[in-house]
A and B are shown apart, each in its own frame.
Chain A
């Protein structure tokens, strides 16, 4: 019972903290909603409000070109009272989503897939955080809190991804695929997680039944389930919006073709602003290919640890996806404490943390200089987004290094603790 009480304390404290922030600083959510670091065109709460306004007045929400989010969010938010007049129900709703996400993290941590899977067993199993600590890490991360307060719809994608992984970790493969379908339906990129996720499901199945079925057949079956769930959600969407193709081009087309170059913490906007239009299609292809190509490489190299592949991919999405925000980074950070046993092998933690802290402080300062004070320019802010991405890349590279190093130590027990040098 003791563990449960701890969990209740952490969850309760997180909920109280969020509601307190909401009550004590009523202007904070609106401030965060307007920040480019938190709200992107594809997850902004303001745009959702706009879509909602049109939806409740029987106009197609995609008219006007402001709303680019999945239509299923509209009926859900139409049930909530108006966020402007009664902010509290929305606040409670978002806080609950955060708690649900944390709960999924507890399940992932308790499944122990980070420490030992079918093909892999960590060396330093005793160095670990328990599920509640992992959840606390997620819930009290300032980035998560900022995302929650800004009411970014990214939390639903996060929710889908987390439940997909937690279900995969505990062996409910069908549920995992349904959750991934939900996340992919909201914002396409989670579909890239399919391969490592299905491998995780497969490993769990083999572990449980002790009989190895054919991996390819298994994957195809579950790919079918994923497709079915996405198709189902699209079908329901058809009932909500009249013009199916308008919906597709306003949401998925918007996410794939990146027409809105509002600044964000990612690397795409500046690049595509500077680019000559004739090269745009080519580089769109290159950027997407770049994002997608990590899936294959990481999955093959780290076949033994599918959960780690998922973690690394989430980090890559946080850096390289077209409209990243700090909520993507917070999702990646949420997975890191699962790999507490790799921390002793990481080499640049202090540098990474410093770089991320610098970027966190300098980003808003330079944005202020650029937009409000008028004394800076776009390059100021872009430089800081580069630092931010650099910090995340180093963190990512460092964790991947640590994971590889651990695998290597497993394979070569006699070389444990020796320095390695790249030749």
Chain B
């Protein structure tokens, strides 16, 4: 054990140049393997209800029998309105919405609820989104209007289908709930035109955080304790419930809410619950891993996956229940599930807080918590910090030659002599910080430019903007590299064969910031940090090459091609091609997310990933000049 340590001390090349690469590589590998281990039984846990007050499935759900007739009646009334506009265009859509809302209001009023409406309008990427929310409140017979539960049904589901059964079910439940005397929390029924913007407008206005284009709410209740979104967009019976739980910016609802839903659906009602569109989950390692990865992708992108997502930023736990498949469960079963869930939430004595807020689900009854999975993202972020520290030390203490002349077998005394000489020659070097600092900070500020452009462009220009961005990303690093090489401060003390100090310092600062941002991000949005970290991982191993001229050109060209494949716009285009969606629609969605949902994935891309990527490319490109 002692001998290798001594070797390390006496061989600065190994200590300062080789070892950091090795450590960084290990960090990345261990980080990835760590994630791959999570689906194993040893590392994951079964879910459990942490908040005892919830008592899921302990009450009998009475929603059945004659309520079904009322459901059919309401459905017929709504269906009659919608016949005209079944396959209509936008204009008809609007009038249909109005007629529908009118009917909904009259039904809710007839059931004895207080009803109000709210108009809203958002403009994003040159597209106008407008609509009218209708909502009604049941005042709690046993409460004091300080707490409320929200039940949401959108005319259009998250997939854009007409949610006729969901709306009807919400109306039937409103009439049904109104007659019960056991509610200790107000129940708000919210009918929104779509799943993207309506709920956002409503929840913003509920907390008085709405933009001027959104109307304030005329009617309010107490603090929201939870929200349920119901989607039943087809006419036949369903097989299972799909529980959607991802919020904006990767925020998740309290695990207790999800567990309650799963345990009520599965235990009390006998309806299977699935998640992350894993329709046939066989509980194998692969299926578990795929579920985790799908969850991570959704969390990492940070977009709203349904009407429930908008509630999460206000610390209101929310989930969407979607009916899926062809089976024998009818709308009454869904209604009983919702009733039972509302009863559970009604039991809450305080806000959901007991269980986890950070988790990865791999099956409806298995999860890993943050303590278990966080190290993988932290290790990947840590690899950049290790590199930054190593490069900093290398610039200060070790001016060193790149030729490892002292072989491992040489006598110890000789080695000692060489190090003595080395440290005498270089000593503690003064670092010139001005250029590297300006370079790195400037690039991070420059990232604001594409951020602004992509968030404010009109939607028809998005694809051309992306291709311009790809070309600019090829040219910019090379220009920077040329500038760096030709206008760099002269460092006379460095031998010709080594990398000049400022290149190392630029990389050090860039990586320090990258490691910093990614580890902070890992606490907020684990998946995004992990993905960006992996995409940036090749940057650790790129640097200005110092080999002979011919090899240098070949290496740096290959390296640049590889890095360009991993540039933010190319990854975006590649991802869109793989998923089979158009770049324009993705960017329109992203701009909508920025404007309406307060999504900040773009900030991470342009102000964290992109500057680090440009720096890496510029350093590699500088070997060509």
Chain A interface residues (CB < 8 Å from chain B): 344, 350, 354, 357-358, 361-362, 365-366, 368-369, 372-375
A381 to chain B, nearest CB (A): 12
Residue of B nearest to A347 (CB): B428
Q: Which of B416-432 contact A (CB under 8 A)?
A: 428, 430
B184 to chain A, nearest CB (A): 22
Q: Which of B115-123, B169-177, B512-520 contacts A (4 or more CB under 8 A)?
A: B512-520
B124 at the interface (CB under 8 A from A): no
Question: When the two chains form their complex, are residues A374 and B353 in contact, meaning their CB atoms are under 8 A apart?
Answer: yes
Q: How far is the CA of A221 from the CA of B101 in the complex (A)?
A: 83
Question: When the two chains form their complex, are residues B512 and A374 in contact, meaning their CB atoms are under 8 A apart?
Answer: no
Question: When the two chains form their complex, are residues B389 and A350 in contact, meaning their CB atoms are under 8 A apart?
Answer: yes
B351 at the interface (CB under 8 A from A): yes
Taking CB atoms, residues of chain B closer than 8 Å to A354 are 385, 388-389, 512, 516
17 additional A-B residue pairs with CB within 8 Å, beyond A354-B516, A362-B523: A350-B392, A354-B388, A354-B512, A357-B512, A357-B513, A357-B516, A358-B516, A358-B519, A361-B517, A362-B519, A362-B520, A365-B523, A366-B523, A369-B524, A373-B251, A373-B315, A375-B251
Taking CB atoms, residues of chain B closer than 8 Å to A373 are 251, 313, 315, 357
A234 to chain B, nearest CB (A): 43
Of B351, B389, B519, B524, the most chain A CB neighbours within 10 A belong to: B524
B613 at the interface (CB under 8 A from A): no
DSSP class of A's interface residues: helix, strand, loop or mixed? helix
Taking CB atoms, residues of chain A closer than 8 Å to B512 are 354, 357
Residue of B nearest to A343 (CB): B430
Taking CB atoms, residues of chain B closer than 8 Å to A350 are 389, 392
Q: How far is the CA of A344 from the CA of B396 in the complex (A)?
A: 11
Q: How far is the CA of A361 from the CA of B604 in the complex (A)?
A: 14
Q: Do A361 and B524 form a contact, CB below 8 Å, given A350-B389, A374-B351, A375-B357?
A: no
Taking CB atoms, residues of chain A closer than 8 Å to B520 are 358, 361-362, 365
Q: Among B357, B430, B523, B524, which residue has its beta carbon within 8 angstroms of that of A374?
A: B357
B301 at the interface (CB under 8 A from A): no
Q: How far is the CA of A362 from the CA of B392 in the complex (A)?
A: 23
Residue of A nearest to B512 (CB): A354
A9 to chain B, nearest CB (A): 17
Taking CB atoms, residues of chain A closer than 8 Å to B388 are 354
Residue of B nearest to A361 (CB): B520
B443 to chain A, nearest CB (A): 17
Q: Do A374 and B315 form a contact, CB below 8 Å, given A358-B516, A361-B520, A362-B520?
A: yes
Taking CB atoms, residues of chain B closer than 8 Å to A362 are 519-520, 523
Taking CB atoms, residues of chain B closer than 8 Å to A369 are 523-524
B592 at the interface (CB under 8 A from A): no
Question: When the two chains form their complex, are residues B357 and A361 in contact, meaning their CB atoms are under 8 A apart?
Answer: no
B225 to chain A, nearest CB (A): 12
A286 to chain B, nearest CB (A): 33
B597 at the interface (CB under 8 A from A): no
Of A362, A368, A374, the most chain B CB neighbours within 10 A belong to: A374
Q: How far is the CA of A358 from the CA of B513 in the complex (A)?
A: 9
Residue of B nearest to A357 (CB): B516
A94 to chain B, nearest CB (A): 24
Q: Which of B358-386 contact A (CB under 8 A)?
A: 358, 385
Residue of A nearest to B427 (CB): A417
Q: How far is the CA of A260 from the CA of B164 in the complex (A)?
A: 54
Chain B interface residues (CB < 8 Å from chain A): 251, 313, 315, 351, 353, 357-358, 385, 388-389, 392, 428, 430, 512-513, 516-517, 519-520, 523-524
Question: When the two chains form their complex, are residues B358 and A375 in contact, meaning their CB atoms are under 8 A apart?
Answer: yes
Residue of B nearest to A365 (CB): B520
A140 to chain B, nearest CB (A): 11
Q: How far is the CA of A350 from the CA of B251 in the complex (A)?
A: 33
Q: How far is the CA of A369 from the CA of B517 in the complex (A)?
A: 16
Q: How far is the CA of A344 from the CA of B427 in the complex (A)?
A: 12
Q: Do A344 and B430 form a contact, CB below 8 Å, given A366-B523, A374-B315?
A: yes
Q: How far is the CA of A62 from the CA of B520 in the complex (A)?
A: 40
Taking CB atoms, residues of chain B closer than 8 Å to A368 are 524
Q: How far is the CA of A366 from the CA of B520 in the complex (A)?
A: 9
Top 3 A-B pairs ranked by shortest CB distance? A375-B357, A374-B315, A361-B520
Taking CB atoms, residues of chain B closer than 8 Å to A374 are 315, 351, 353, 357
Question: What are some 12 contacts across the A-B interface (CB < 8 A)?
Answer: A344-B430, A354-B388, A357-B512, A357-B513, A358-B516, A358-B520, A361-B516, A362-B523, A372-B315, A373-B251, A374-B315, A375-B357
Residue of A nearest to B312 (CB): A373
Residue of B nearest to A368 (CB): B524
Q: How far is the CA of A372 from the CA of B207 in the complex (A)?
A: 13
B609 to chain A, nearest CB (A): 16
Question: When the two chains form their complex, are residues B516 and A344 in contact, meaning their CB atoms are under 8 A apart?
Answer: no
Q: How far is the CA of A366 from the CA of B522 in the complex (A)?
A: 11
Taking CB atoms, residues of chain A closer than 8 Å to B523 are 362, 365-366, 369
A106 to chain B, nearest CB (A): 21
Q: How far is the CA of A375 from the CA of B351 in the complex (A)?
A: 12
A56 to chain B, nearest CB (A): 27
Taking CB atoms, residues of chain A closer than 8 Å to B524 are 365, 368-369
Taking CB atoms, residues of chain A closer than 8 Å to B389 are 350, 354
Q: How far is the CA of A368 from the CA of B251 in the complex (A)?
A: 12
Residue of A nearest to B314 (CB): A372
Q: How far is the CA of A153 from the CA of B443 in the complex (A)?
A: 34
Q: How far is the CA of A368 from the CA of B249 in the complex (A)?
A: 13
Q: How far is the CA of A362 from the CA of B523 in the complex (A)?
A: 9
B371 to chain A, nearest CB (A): 13
Residue of A nearest to B317 (CB): A374
Q: How far is the CA of A372 from the CA of B249 in the complex (A)?
A: 13
Q: How far is the CA of A374 from the CA of B251 in the complex (A)?
A: 11
Residue of B nearest to A417 (CB): B427
Taking CB atoms, residues of chain B closer than 8 Å to A357 are 512-513, 516
Residue of B nearest to A375 (CB): B357
Q: How far is the CA of A350 from the CA of B512 in the complex (A)?
A: 10
Q: How far is the CA of A374 from the CA of B354 in the complex (A)?
A: 11
Q: How far is the CA of A357 from the CA of B430 in the complex (A)?
A: 22
Taking CB atoms, residues of chain A closer than 8 Å to B351 are 374
Residue of A nearest to B353 (CB): A374
Residue of B nearest to A377 (CB): B353
A393 to chain B, nearest CB (A): 20
Q: How far is the CA of A354 from the CA of B385 in the complex (A)?
A: 9
Residue of B nearest to A364 (CB): B520
Taking CB atoms, residues of chain B closer than 8 Å to A344 are 428, 430
Of A361, A365, A366, A375, the most chain B CB neighbours within 10 A belong to: A375
A30 to chain B, nearest CB (A): 14
B432 to chain A, nearest CB (A): 13
Q: How far is the CA of A357 from the CA of B513 in the complex (A)?
A: 9
Q: How far is the CA of A350 from the CA of B436 in the complex (A)?
A: 14
B491 to chain A, nearest CB (A): 17
B469 to chain A, nearest CB (A): 24
A232 to chain B, nearest CB (A): 46
Residue of A nearest to B358 (CB): A375
Q: How far is the CA of A169 from the CA of B592 in the complex (A)?
A: 58
Taking CB atoms, residues of chain A closer than 8 Å to B516 are 354, 357-358, 361
Q: How far is the CA of A354 from the CA of B387 in the complex (A)?
A: 13
Residue of A nearest to B247 (CB): A373
Taking CB atoms, residues of chain B closer than 8 Å to A358 are 516, 519-520
Q: How far is the CA of A366 from the CA of B313 in the complex (A)?
A: 15
Residue of B nearest to A372 (CB): B315
Q: How far is the CA of A361 from the CA of B607 in the complex (A)?
A: 14
